Amino acid sequence: MLKPASMSRVRLIIGQAHADDVLSALQDVGVMQVEQLPQELATVLTRNVVRDKSGISDLAQRFRSLEGLLEPQGHGERVSFGSIDELIRKANAIDIDEQCAGIFRRSEALGANIAYNEVLLRVVSGLRAFDKDLNVLSTKLISSYVVYGPQIERFRKELEGKGIAFNTIDLSDSIIVSIRKSEYKAFSVFAAPFKVYMEAVPKMEGTVSENMRRLKESMARDEKELHALDNEKKELSRKYFHRVSAIREQLDIELERVETLSKLGATESTVAMEGWIPRSNLSALEALISKITGRVYVMENDIPTKEQPPTKMENPVTMRLYEFFIRFYSVPKSNEIDPTVMFALIFPVFFGFMIGDAGYGLVMLLGAIWLVHRIEHPPKRSRLPAKLTGFIKTIIGPNGMRVVAKSIIPGAVIAIALGLLFNEFFGFKMPYTAPFDVVKNVGTLLVISGWIGVFMVSFGFILGILNNIAVGNRKHALGKVGWLAAAIGIVIFGLNVLHKANLGPGNIIALISYALLGAGIAVIFIEEGAQSLMELPSLISHILSYTRLVGILLASVILAEVIDLIFMAGIRHSILLGLLGVVILVVGQIFNLVIALFEPGIQGARLIYVEFFSKFYTGNGKEFRPFAYKRQRTEPKFKL
């Protein structure tokens, strides 16, 4: 749980006859990260395991296009394919490409035609007051425009003095301006500064009412045909979508398998591959390969290599959510501590403590639950502003948003519990005496935060010592011992100063602090060099940095109480000031709520990343990426 999965570098040699089945099994069970063969082995295995993938690639592209033309259906039964030949046979049996493409092309044309006729109908509807044939408005020499807007009168008057030959016809709330086509450029330049809108009158025959009737009849015919095409598409989708989607998925799986062949080596009779496998999966995978090959194989474990093994994080399901934050910081190396569990336990406490208000905690809890539900069950039509949702999606995707929302829930619960302890509900006091008053006990809270800092920094160094011992790095382990001794020495000295104790030889505790500090500095100098001593002042700043827990809590509590105080004073004074107080209350509480959401989240993560992780965690690991495909429509052939 506190360490990534133990990995083994494996070399597997099998017969050519079993290569496809073994690769299929590895892809189905997804426990091996296939690597490029090392150079010394590649020179021996001179044959490349390369196959022509053009046929599969073309089929996959065809079925991706076909799947895009059909309407998605609910998840049906998973489909299984016995062999590549069966897959290709079933793919070739589906012959609806031209039918689907024809429906798509005709639907696009009808949709464009309906949209164009809608524009024409809107323009013609504005000409209801014109009782002559529309062909007089658009000829070989003349163009006409419907002009409307707040400055239409000024537009008409100033047009008369511009030397442009024109004619106007008054309508109810607009005018028709007819000009020579040769003067369009001068006319458009003139019209640009005015607050008016212009729409070109299309070339049409007949009266307004006749054209409106023709347009409506044409749109009705197109919509009827479009509806029929839509029904045809739905029927095709109902009959074929599951099969098309399953074939497309299996083709993608086959294509991925063919692309992996470039990492393998072979002779005329054998195929060799190397990769990383979690030790916990070794025996089960070997049993599966033994069954496939009839026990004719060679599988070597723990192949010597200078490569760093990839990292596969293994955490309890309840804490796996917080792996997102560890990956955001840096993936752990395979041989160091995985800090996911520690982040999962510490972050919600810091977050909830810095909020310290039951009202804010309750809003965050309900908001996080709502957001998770909305992401997992998206509505057909969102009522949220498109610009707001678009802006949020550019910052964080739906999956990241869901993870953040779920991670807020434990911290919100802690905020509610502490808010009840502090008797804080949007800054208001409930009718009971607070077991612990934040403002009156600032000194106590600062002491607590200081001891939290001492614990976190010391615990970080202890983890660093244990981690380096585990990987056999004695030099770095001793360096961490030096840093821990120096930290404890500084803390003891600081406590003596705060209590105004004697710092001379008569104080044994002071002498212990000098000894620890001196020994720590000496060990750091020997093991890490003189340059590392420049980081010594950071020990004090890292410990004191945890007092920001109290600072942010106080800022939130006091700001809420000030907002409430202004509101109460306003409603007691007059109706006008009372209304102003309500506005200040609503706006102020929303502002404080936003701060209470972001500031504790950012600062809580920072305290863990900077002041805690820096003592033991290096990161920069490579994440384990097994040769696998996440199936949705097809059934795997092999299982562990």
Q: Range with the lowest mean pLDDT among 45-54, 112-121, 222-231, 477-486?
A: 45-54
Tell me the mean pLDDT in the region 201-221: 92
Q: Quick one: 270 and 348 in the same domain?
A: no
Residue 170: its pLDDT value, please?
A: 84
Do the domain assignments include residue 618? no
- Which pairing describes strands 265-266 and 270-278: parallel, antiparallel, or unpaired? antiparallel
- Tens-place pLDDT, residues 125-139: 888 888 888 888 888
SS (H, E, C) 312-357: CCCCCCCCHHHHHHHHHHCCCCCCCCCCHHHHHHHHHHHHHHHHCC
Which CATH number is 179's domain given?
3.30.70.260
Q: Quick one: 503 and 640 in the same domain?
A: no
Do the domain assignments include residue 590? yes
Percent of the chain residues past pLDDT 70, beyond the cut: 96
> How does DSSP classify residue 428?
B
Q: Quick one: 407 and 283 in the same domain?
A: no
- Cβ atoms of residues 1 and 316 within 8 Å: yes
- Tens-place pLDDT, residues 405-434: 999 999 999 999 999 999 999 999 998 898
Rounded Cα distance between 31 and 284, Å, is 10
- Residue 224, CA distances (Å) to 219, 228, 229, 231, 232 in order: 8, 6, 9, 11, 13
Q: What is the DSSP string of 355-370?
A: H--HHHHHHHHHHHHH
Tell me the mean pLDDT in the region 2-24: 91
Which CATH number is 283's domain given?
3.30.70.240
Q: Quick one: 364 and 400 in the same domain?
A: yes
Is 562's pLDDT higher than 70?
Answer: yes
Do the domain assignments include residue 319? no
Q: Quick one: 88 and 173 in the same domain?
A: no
Domain of residue 595: give its range: 340-612
Residue 173: its pLDDT value, please?
A: 81
Q: Quick one: 527 and 591 in the same domain?
A: yes
Is 498's pLDDT higher than 70?
Answer: yes
Rounded Cα distance between 324 and 399, Å, is 10
Q: Quick one: 307 and 429 in the same domain?
A: no
Q: Quick one: 239 and 294 in the same domain?
A: no
Do the domain assignments include residue 622? no
Q: Quick one: 410 and 548 in the same domain?
A: yes
Do the domain assignments include residue 269? yes
Do the domain assignments include residue 472? yes
Rounded Cα distance between 537 and 516, Å, is 16
Residue matched to tokens 């003139």: 190
Percent of the chain residues past pLDDT 90, beyond the cut: 53
Q: Quick one: 243 and 378 in the same domain?
A: no
Q: Quick one: 538 and 395 in the same domain?
A: yes
Do the domain assignments include residue 326? no
Do the domain assignments include residue 434? yes
Q: Is the pTM of this model over 0.85?
A: no
Domains contained in the chain, number: 4
**The token pair that represents 427 in the structure block:** 């800054």
- Cβ atoms of residues 296 and 52 within 8 Å: no
Q: Quick one: 528 and 441 in the same domain?
A: yes
